[in-house]
Structure formats: C-alpha cells, structure tokens
C-alpha cells in the first residue's frame, strides 16, 4: 500500500514540474516577469535573472520527463528533491529580501511571495521525499491499486489551493470548504455576528432582491434565527400591500438567498422565490413573514 502511494508521487511531482518548466521556457511573459521577480532582485542584472529562470525551467522539464516516462528512475526523484530544496530556499530568502516581488514560479496571476507559496514549497518537498520509497513505475502502481488515483487528485487539489497565482478558482474553492467546515462544527452559528448594514448592501446586489426591487419600500423589520438573518420590506405586490421577507445566510452566500412575499390583509403567501442553487426558502422565513405581517 505504502509503495503504491510512493510510486504515484512521480506523477504528481512530474506534472507540477512539467507545468512550471514549460511555462518558464515556452511563454514570453515568463521571461518578462523573471526580470521583475524576486529572482531579479537577488541576482546582479535582469538579464542574468532571465537566464537563470530559463535554466531552472529547462531543468524542471528534464526532471518531469524522467519522472513521467518509463521506466521508473529512482534517482530522478532525488533530483526533484534537490530542486524542491532549492525552490524552498529561494522562496525563504526572497520573502525576507524582496517580499513585494512576484515569485515567477508557475505562471498565473502576478502575486507577491506569501506563506501560501512557502507552504506549497514545503508540500512539494514532502511529496518528493515520499517518492523516494517507490519501487514501481507510477502507471503500474495506478493499475495495481486504482484507489491511488484519489491520492493523486487530492494532492493536485491541495497544491492548487496553495498556489496564490491561481486564486481566481483556488481561493473560491478554499473559501467554500472553510465555510462548510465551520458550518459543520458550529451548526447554530453561535458567535457569528451579523452586520446588518453590510448584509443589506450585499443582499441588494442579488438576483432575488433585484426581482422584487421595483415594488419594495422601506425596511419594516429584521431578525435572526440561528444561521439565518431575515430582512422584511414593505412591498406593493399585485396592487395590494404586502411584506417581502428575504432569508440571508449569516455566512453570506448569494446562492442561498431566498424570499417570500406575504399579503398584509390575510397573510396569504403570494410568492416564493427559490435561491439560485434551487433550494427552497427555509420554512422559518415563511413563518417569520407571517409573524411580521401580524405585527404590521
């Protein structure tokens, strides 16, 4: 089992090195960024930084080829470990000397070196060390133990999340995972404060709010039930006075915004608007709406 996990590290590390090397060697913007990166500040001239950047990229491609193509070369993973150590040393030095400069490591957005960059370097180093215990070619290990494909996917996902250069998707996934974990650990949202002004401002940008906005008047009430905040507005709906109640997650998520419109005259629910993720409005919202109508 352990040998299978060690063997597939060649696939993960090889893909990472291959991507980083191809970007450094094949993309003109990589050379331009190298001159402005932390490497450009650590070396005497921008031209020397570009040359070093290209040399590193060539080395990464070479190691990637050795790791990804048969047969299994055990010494190739040791070379990858040396590169990973050098990479970690570069980031550590750059973070102290040129913290405002980009890494120029893997493409993507131009971002300064951060703790996430260092964490990724440590993770890569760890994966190369695990790979030292491999005896078989990674494809053989995958065939013999198909479940190791899950290990590969999980490790690639972690490396992606630790890459600030790809924050566009990675940060959103990370934020979502953190929110889900917090909700599981604290299902009643105890200790989660509500900033009503901020909640209303963000609510106004959602499609559910915009759908009802033409008929809305002023806020008539607002309250909280567990992980949900409720904001009630007066509204003219079908030529009759009514109350529109919006259900807003305490940990704001526009996909879960929903609403109910209740007639003031007889508490009839005139409209339910489902959230963007197709979940129905929480029952408490409708009940609260009826209570709000009775108070009105």
Which has more confidence, 143 or 74? 143
**Does some domain include residue 164?**
yes
Position 27 in a domain: yes
Cβ atoms of 10 and 72 closer than 8 Å: yes
Angle at the Cα of 114 (from 153 to 182), degrees rounded to 5? 60
Of the candidates 149, 184, 219, which is a domain's last residue? 184
CA distance 160 to 152: 12
Instruction: Let me know if residue 189 belongs to a domain.
Output: no
Q: Are residues 240 and 145 in the same domain?
A: no
- 16, 155: one domain: yes
Domain boundary among 184, 213, 238: 184
Same domain, 23 and 62: yes
Overall average pLDDT of the 255-264 stretch: 90
> Greater confidence, 194 or 77?
77
| This prediction's pTM | 0.57
Residue 176 shares a structural domain with residue 207: no
The whole domain housing 112 covers 2-184
Has residue 162 been placed in a domain? yes
Does the residue 190 lie in any domain? Answer: no
The last residue of a domain, from among 154, 184, 214: 184
User: Based on the domain organization, do 171 and 204 belong to the same domain?
Assistant: no
Over residues 149-158, the pLDDT tens digits come to: 999 999 998 9
End-to-end Cα separation, the chain, in angstroms: 67
Regarding whether 172 and 34 lie in a shared domain, the answer is yes
pLDDT, tens digit, for every residue of 177-225? 666 666 566 677 777 778 899 889 999 988 889 889 888 999 999 999 8
């Amino acid at each position: 089992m352990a040998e299978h996990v060690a063997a597939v590290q060649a696939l993960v590390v090889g893909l990472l090195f291959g991507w980083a090397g191809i970007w450094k060697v094949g993309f003109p913007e990589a050379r331009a960024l190298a001159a402005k990166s932390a490497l450009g500040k650590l070396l005497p001239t921008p031209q020397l930084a570009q040359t070093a950047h290209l040399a590193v990229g060539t080395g990464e491609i070479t190691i990637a080829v050795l790791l990804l193509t048969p047969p299994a070369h055990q010494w190739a993973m040791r070379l990858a470990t040396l590169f990973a150590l050098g990479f970690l040393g570069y980031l550590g030095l750059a973070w102290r000397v040129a913290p405002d400069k980009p890494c120029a490591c893997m493409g993507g957005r131009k971002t300064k070196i951060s703790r996430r960059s260092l964490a990724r370097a440590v993770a890569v180093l760890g994966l190369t060390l695990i790979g030292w215990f491999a005896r078989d070619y990674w494809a053989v290990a995958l065939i013999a133990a198909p479940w190791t494909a899950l290990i590969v996917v999980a490790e690639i996902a972690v490396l992606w999340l630790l890459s600030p250069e790809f924050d566009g998707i990675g940060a959103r996934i990370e934020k979502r995972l953190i929110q889900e974990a917090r909700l599981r650990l604290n299902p009643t949202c105890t200790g989660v404060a509500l900033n009503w002004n901020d909640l209303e401002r963000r609510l106004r940008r959602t499609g559910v709010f915009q759908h009802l906005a033409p008929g809305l008047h002023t806020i008539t009430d607002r309250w909280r039930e567990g992980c949900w905040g409720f904001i009630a507005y007066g509204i003219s709906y079908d030529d009759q006075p009514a109350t529109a109640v919006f259900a807003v997650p305490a940990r704001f998520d526009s996909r879960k915004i929903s609403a109910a419109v209740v007639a003031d005259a007889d508490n009839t629910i005139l409209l339910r608007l489902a959230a963007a993720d197709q979940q129905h409005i929480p029952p408490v919202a409708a009940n609260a709406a009826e209570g709000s109508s009775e108070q009105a």
